[in-house]
A and B are shown apart, each in its own frame.
Chain A
Amino acid sequence: MSSKPTLYRGHEGMWMWIVHRATGVAVFFFLLVHVLDTALVRISPDAYNQVIGSYKTPLFGLVEAGLVAAIVLHAFNGLRIIAVDQWTWALRHQKLLVWIVWGIFVVLMAGFLPRHLARVFGGA
C-alpha cells in the first residue's frame, strides 16, 4: 500500500455519494409506478382498490418501508449537499454532517417503522 493520496477517498462522503445515487434511482422508478397506480382512480374505484389492496400485504409493506428509508436518506443528504456547496463551515464539517444525516435517518425510521409494520403485519 502506497501512502500517496489516491483519487478514491473511501470515506463518509464517498459512501454517501453512492447512497444518494442508489436511493435517487430507486425513488425515480417508484414514482413512475406510483403515478400509474394512482391513475387507476380514473378507470374505476374497484380497480384502484384492488391494486392498492396489494400495497397492504406484508411484502409490499416491507417495500414501502424501504422506499420511505430511501426518501429520508436522499432528502437529508440532499440538504447536506446544498449546505456543503453553500457554506464553508458545512464544507469543513461535511463528514460530521454525514453522521448527522444517518442520525436523523435512524430517529425518523425508529418513529415510523413500529407503527407502519404493526399495521402491515398486524392486519390493523
Chain B
Amino acid sequence: MTAPELTKPLPRTRRRLTPALRWWWMFQRISGVVLVVLIFTHLFYNLVLGGGVSQIDFGFVAGKWAAPLWQWWDFTMLVLAMLHGMNGMGYLVDDYARSKRARGILHLLLGAATAVIIVLGTLVIFTFDPCPTGANPQNLNVPLCQELGKL
C-alpha cells in the first residue's frame, strides 16, 4: 500500500479547541516541565545517591517521609504525574479507539484509575506510620523510631 500523496499543501484550518481542551494542552506542558525537575530529583536521590536501588526498604521510606518536604514532593509528583499520564493516554484513546462507545469507556477507565491512584497514594503518604507497633525492629528505621520514642 502506498502512502497518500499530497500534491499541494492542504489549506490551513482554524483549529478551534474547546476551553477545556486548551486548558489540558497547557497543563500537559506546564506539568511536563515541573515533572522533569521532580522526577529527576526523585530518581537521583533514590537510584543514584547512597546505595542506589539496594538501599530502598521500609526504613528508607520512613526516613524520607519524616521530612514534610519529601511528603509534599511525592504528593505533587503523584498528582501531576497521574494527571499528565491520564491526559496523555487520553490523546492515544482519541487517536486509536474507533467507536464513540469505546472512547467513552476508555476515558472513564482512565479517569477512575487516576482517581483511585491519587486518593490511595495521598492517603499512604500522609497517614504513613514509620514505627507500627508489633513490627519486627529489623525492618524499621531504628534511629528514627528511637527519636520518636516508639522503640
Contact = CB atoms under 8 A, between A and B. Distances in A.
Interface string B54-65: 101111010000
A42 to B, nearest CB: 5
Interface residues of B, number: 46
Contacts of B29: 82, 85
B52 A41 contact: no
A6 B54 contact: no
B48 A25 contact: no
Nearest to B81: A31
B139 A38 contact: no
Interface string B28-61: 0100110110011001000110011110111101
Nearest to A3: B5
A79 B124 contact: no
Contacts of A112: 47-48
A116 B53 contact: yes
Contact of A119 (B33, B40, B52): B52
A1 to B, nearest CB: 9
A8 interface: yes
Contacts of A119: 51-54
A27 to B, nearest CB: 7
- For the residues of B in contact with A, the DSSP-based class is helix
A45 B6 contact: no
Contacts of A124: 51, 54
B13 interface: no
Interface stretch (B14-22, B85-93, B99-107): B85-93
A116 to B, nearest CB: 6
B69 interface: no
B88 A45 contact: no
B47 A49 contact: no
Contacts of A68: 43, 47
A61 interface: yes
7 contacts: A4-B7, A6-B4, A6-B6, A42-B123, A48-B61, A64-B53, A71-B39
Given A4-B5, A4-B7, A75-B39, 9 more contacts: A24-B89, A27-B85, A31-B85, A79-B36, A82-B32, A116-B48, A116-B52, A116-B53, A119-B54
